[in-house]
Amino acid sequence: MKPRLDFYPADPASIDAMRDLEKYLRGCGHDPLLYELVKIYASQIDRCAFCIDMHTRDSRAHGETEQRLPLLAA
């Protein structure tokens, strides 16, 4: 398998900004499950299978049901 691009050396400022945004959003007090569902939907729009898998696992850890997850695509 070909290694993925290491984004940080390519553009450190943008990666730092994304990390700051993530830190801010996690501290806002929003429901963590809703936050993960939004990430799944964004990953579907981006067509990133790796991120869809990661955020789907994270949403399950926050209590999402197997019945609702496929409905995000609708």
Tens digit of pLDDT at every position of the chain (74 positions):
676 778 788 889 999 998 999 899 889 988 889 989 999 999 999 999 989 999 999 999 999 999 988 888 77
Contacts by 39-43 with C-beta closer than 8 Å and gap 24+?
Answer: 40/69, 40/72, 41/72
Half-sphere exposure of 47 (CA within 13 A, CB side): 0
Pick from 68, 39, 64, 65: which is nearest to 52 by CA? Answer: 39
Cβ(29)–Cβ(55) under 8 Å? no
In this prediction, residue 71 carries a pLDDT of 87
The predicted structure's pLDDT at residue 53:
93
